[in-house]
Structure 1
Amino acid sequence: MRRYDIARHIARLDPERDHVEIVHYLVGWEFPWDWVRALEMALYRTFCNPRTSRLLDHTREFHDRPQRRYDDTALLMAEIMEWGYDSDRGREALRRTNRFHRHYDIANEDFLYVLTTFHLEPIRWMDRYGWRRLTAHEKRASYHFWREVGRRMNIRDIPPTPEAFERWSVAFERTHFAFDEANRRIATSTRELFAGWFPRPLRPLVRVGIHALLDDTMLASFGFRAAPRPVRSLVAGALRMRGWALRFFPPRRRKGFITGTPQRSWPDGYELTDLGPPPLLHAREGAAR
């Protein structure tokens, strides 16, 4: 198989009818590492909405169990992208996601905004740092995929086109993004989670590197100091160089979904029934008894 064979195969698929297959190829074969990083940026972006951050701050999941919260969220989303939202595993991942969210009073527009970030942040990341950009064909498939996921999460008023989806997201940010102490606390907990993946001497550099990836609106919403300009240039340049170099690598021989690799919270593997906030899982077990 040659480097662009999967891209050529995707181009022959229909972006509306075959969107599940297209997203599977994009996430698991073309951009596995990049897609995870892009969804981390999507996670950060949702913290710019004080309503979201205050809820997360109240539950304390990102303070008390940040790695578990990160891993479980990433795995539930990965199950849906790997197997499709109407597969047995995809349906179970969505069922669990919906059940956990029902415990909280979350506005429909906040759900909808999070949905837009799952679509838009990977596009933006690949445009900046990917070994190739997503095609218009692939972007349209991504929209149809997340629209169908949103429908199965009972999210209302999903804009009817990819263009309207993006416009709605940008307008939401203009209206709702603002500094809040809850934003700062949740963003700081998440930054410390990411920094903790590295040896202690490197963590100050990782923190500055994370700031270098956040745009001005995000930095203002968190009250974070911007990284020095040379650091921003270095981080962006390193990621672009990585993307350029990957063009000359052979294509993957095995899919790269995170479901197939040990996670920090689940080094020996997991079952879908393991995933979710422990207080809600334990409450359900107690009710069953």
Structure 2
Amino acid sequence: MAEFIEKLSSNLSTSAFSKLASSSTKQLSGLSWLWSFYLLPAAIAYPFLCSALRFRRLKALQAKYKYGTPERPSFEGMTVTEAHAIISSMSDFEFPALFEKGLQFALFRTYGIPTIAKLLVKTTQLAAEKNVPKRYADTGVLLGDMYASDPASDKAFIATARLNYLHGHYIKQGKISNDDMLYTLTLFTNQPVEWINRYEWRQLTDLELCAMGVFHKYMGESMHISFDPLPSFNVGWKDGLHFYHEMDAWAKDYEKRVMVPDKNNYDTAVQTRALLLGSQPDFLKPFLSKMVSAPLDDRLREAIMFDPAPASYTTWFNRFMTVRRYYLRYLALPRPWFMKNDLHTKEPDKAGRRYVVRWDTQPVYVKPTIWNRWGPGALISSALGMALPGDEGTYPEGFVVTEAGPLAFKGKGNKEVAEGVQQLKKELTAGCPFQFRRN
């Protein structure tokens, strides 16, 4: 009897194993078939799909505006409105991260010019630790409305008029030269381009470079900057592309002449570096402090008296940016329209104030909502010792554009700004800024 039971058990075990093995074989066979006919082709096709979709916006812009095409080979006639639409595509959807970093780096690069740094140190706006976060935020407030708003809108005119009012005091005293103003404008023109061309998933086209030239020519005129130092000032420029290249060449030559080491340069740059690292955990700051020097060219780095980044840091940074470039080109789908990240609220609240909604340094002008103070990100920031919206010195009441700037100018300049807006409306047009040429 025991022998019969043992034999039966053996047969049952063999039968169960056979069924299990057969079932597993069928599953593996099914998975293999699924991989071969569906997953593998999809995995191969996905990078090509991403790459194709990545270029749809550019092709749509080229089809819409047709500048630089066989049917319209010239870039002449591009309007400020068209240029703004092209730049908005670049900054909001195509290259949002590095377009913004390019603008931030433009501000950082001005610290290499002693005449600019000297004024910043004297006014203590970017050389005193307590003033840097607000001054940095105010710059973002003004530039945010100048770049994000329709160029002929009241919002853009008010931001420009406020900036002109703040600059006007120093220009009248001879503390800001036209060359320094033109150089700074040029950095806001070419630094986003250089960062994108160096690190992004594709190079910018002549259509996009022309848009940068057109828009910043308009911006320069609105800020009453003279373009006399540029070679074609007396005869005029053919188009925005011509203007862009002349500005870029002039600024690089200007740097060769005046970007030299100076203690004032260091004082302004080191405070901004501290601001940029202030939102990072303490244990990362020594590493990131050295990493800041990695993307700097030697002329700028020496002018602001920063130590060179260790070779391994520069190598790591370049490799990271290379991986990012290929990831965006072949594995990341393009940013959809509903993922546009606004820097500020568009409309004021009942108190007439607006707020910063996205920040990467101190949370200045950020509304201390429950989410901003107690959400997951806020709890992590608090645990790491970082400032939260509503903390002392963060101005949680929000901002009004006509009050942006140093505290010494708070409550001042409303009349001048109102007059400036009316003057800009009379003097400027959103048409082509290169229609008149002195032939």
TM-score (structure 1 length as normaliser): 0.93
Question: Which consecutive unaligned segments of at least 5 residues does structure 2 have?
Answer: 1-51, 68-74, 231-236, 238-242, 346-356, 368-397, 415-439
Deviation at 1:282, TM superposition (A): 4.3
Distance in 2, Cα, partners of 1:74 & 1:241:
29
1:143-167: CA deviations, max 9, x gaps?
A: 1111110001000026442221111
Deviation at 1:200, TM superposition (A): 0.8
* 1:258 and 2:353 matched: no
* 1:79 and 2:162 matched: no
**SS of residue paired to 1:182:** helix
Once superposed, which parts of structure 1, at least 4 consecutive aligned residues long, lie more than 3 Å away?
Answer: 282-285
Distance in 2, Cα, partners of 1:210 & 1:239:
14
Alignment of 1:62-73 (within 5 A): 62=126, 63=128, 64-73=130-139
Distance in 1, Cα, partners of 2:403 & 2:327:
38
Distance in 2, Cα, partners of 1:174 & 1:94:
30
Corresponding position of 1:95: 161
CA contact (8 A) 2:403 2:411 kept: no
| Aligned counterpart in structure 2 of residue 186 of structure 1, from 268, 272, 275 | 268
Corresponding position of 1:117: 187
Deviation at 1:76, TM superposition (A): 1.5
Corresponding position of 1:272: 401
Q: Which moved more, 1:268-277 or 1:26-35?
A: 268-277
Q: Check 1:81–1:283 CA distance in 2 against 1; reply closer, same or farther (3 A cut).
A: closer
Amino acid at match of 1:51: T
Corresponding position of 2:387: none
1:62-100: CA deviations, max 9, x gaps?
A: 123211111111231121111133212111111111111
Question: Which consecutive unaligned segments of at least 5 residues does structure 1 have?
Answer: none
| Aligned counterpart in structure 2 of residue 47 of structure 1, from 97, 111, 118 | 111
Deviation at 1:270, TM superposition (A): 3.5
Amino acid at match of 1:55: L
Distance in 2, Cα, partners of 1:273 & 1:86:
18
Query: CA RMSD for the aligned pairs?
Result: 1.9
Query: Per residue, is there more helix in 1 or in 2?
Result: 1
Corresponding position of 1:131: 201
Corresponding position of 1:202: 284
Larger relative contact order, structure 1 or 2 (CA cutoff 8 Å, min sep 6):
1
Deviation at 1:180, TM superposition (A): 0.7
Corresponding position of 2:11: none
Q: Which moved more, 1:52-61 or 1:128-137?
A: 128-137
Distance in 1, Cα, partners of 2:284 & 2:358:
23
1:238-257: CA deviations, max 9, x gaps?
A: 12222221223222223224
**SS of residue paired to 2:54:** coil
1:88-143: CA deviations, max 9, x gaps?
A: 21111111111110121310010000001011111110111112221111011101
Deviation at 1:53, TM superposition (A): 0.1
Q: Check 1:270–1:60 CA distance in 2 against 1; reply closer, same or farther (3 A cut).
A: same
Amino acid at match of 2:103: L
Q: Check 1:101–1:188 CA distance in 2 against 1; reply closer, same or farther (3 A cut).
A: same
* 1:4 and 2:55 matched: yes
Distance in 2, Cα, partners of 1:282 & 1:55:
22
Q: Which moved more, 1:214-223 or 1:273-282?
A: 273-282
Amino acid at match of 2:365: W
Distance in 2, Cα, partners of 1:117 & 1:82:
18
Amino acid at match of 2:256: R
* 1:222 and 2:304 matched: yes
CA contact (8 A) 2:342 2:358 kept: no
Amino acid at match of 2:366: P
CA contact (8 A) 1:213 1:232 kept: yes
State, as a whole percentage, how many aligned pairs show the same letter: 27
CA contact (8 A) 1:72 1:276 kept: yes
Distance in 2, Cα, partners of 1:71 & 1:130:
26
Amino acid at match of 1:256: N
1:166-212: CA deviations, max 9, x gaps?
A: 11111111111111100010010011111111011111111111011
* 1:177 and 2:243 matched: no
TM-score (structure 2 length as normaliser): 0.62
Alignment of 1:144-183 (within 5 A): 144-157=214-227, 159=230, 160=237, 161-183=243-265
Amino acid at match of 1:128: R
Q: Check 1:32–1:257 CA distance in 2 against 1; reply closer, same or farther (3 A cut).
A: farther
Amino acid at match of 1:74: G
Aligned residues: 286
1:207-228: CA deviations, max 9, x gaps?
A: 1110112110011101111001
CA contact (8 A) 1:52 1:110 kept: yes
